[in-house]
Structure 1
Amino acid sequence: MTEQTLARLQEQQQQYRQRIEALQRDLTREYPADSGEQAQERENDEVMEALLLEAREGLRQTESALQRLQDGSYGLCSGCGEKIAAARLEAMPDALMCIDCASRAEPG
């Protein structure tokens, strides 16, 4: 499982990096001279900035999972210390908590 997990996390890391790079490139482009088009582009920038924040957080979580894999704590819940279910790790390879701890930690 470790080699397969490592490969999945590295692929996920690369995808986040590419997404961040593309979003940053789009956010630094020139605006059209037309004020109507410029207003629309600026609205789009707000959406792209939100996507950029989301991608950065995903990258941070993925890199944290890679660090846990390296130090041997991968797959252990940060809340209770028990093993995280394999199915959860399959669905979310960067999961930090077991489903029980994650559901208790959610606001609401």
Structure 2
Amino acid sequence: MDVARYEHILQARKAELENRLSRIEQDFTTPRNPDDDDRAVERNNDEVLEELGEVGEKELVAIDAALARIDAGTFGTCAKCGQPIAERRLDAVPHTPLCQVCAGED
């Protein structure tokens, strides 16, 4: 398994998420429109942005954990059963800590 390739993928995704979260934060600090109708739309947009921000933050935590597993030499090993995680699974979800079998048990 090419751990360096996964590390590169994880680092790139982390940078992308940090950039996106920064832009979301900037949107929240932008002055609001005084028009009532526009404010209602902005509130709906804020809810969507907040959800995207929460999802992004959770993915960042998972990416940081995967990078820590790379540093520890345990990347690609299921955290639950200790078996290797299939590269096909890592290609789809590089930050996954679980093999396909263990992920399906939850």
CA–CA separation in structure 2 for the residues paired with 1:95 and 1:88: 8
CA–CA separation in structure 2 for the residues paired with 1:2 and 1:41: 43
Segments of structure 1 that go 5 or more residues without pairing to the other structure are none
Q: Does 1:35 align with 2:39?
A: no
The TM-score normalised by the length of structure 2 is: 0.95
Summarize the alignment of residues 40-51 of structure 1 with structure 2, pairs less than 5 Å apart.
40-51=41-52
CA–CA separation in structure 1 for the residues paired with 2:3 and 2:100: 21
Structure-2 residue corresponding to 1:18: 19
- CA displacement, residues 37-58 of structure 1 (integer Å, 9 cap, x when unaligned): 0111011101100000000001
Summarize the alignment of residues 1-108 of structure 1 with structure 2, pairs less than 5 Å apart.
1-105=2-106
CA–CA separation in structure 2 for the residues paired with 1:80 and 1:2: 20
CA–CA separation in structure 2 for the residues paired with 1:101 and 1:77: 8
Q: CA deviation at 1:67?
A: 0.5
- CA displacement, residues 29-88 of structure 1 (integer Å, 9 cap, x when unaligned): 111011110111011101100000000001111111000001011011011111101111
Percent identity for Structure 1 against Structure 2: 31
The count of corresponding residues between Structure 1 and Structure 2 is 105
Runs of 4+ in 1 over 3 A off after TM superposition: none
Q: Over aligned residues, Cα RMSD in angstroms?
A: 0.8
SS of the aligned residue for 1:36 comes to helix
- CA displacement, residues 10-34 of structure 1 (integer Å, 9 cap, x when unaligned): 0011011011101111111111011
Residue identity matched to 1:73: T
Residue identity matched to 1:45: D
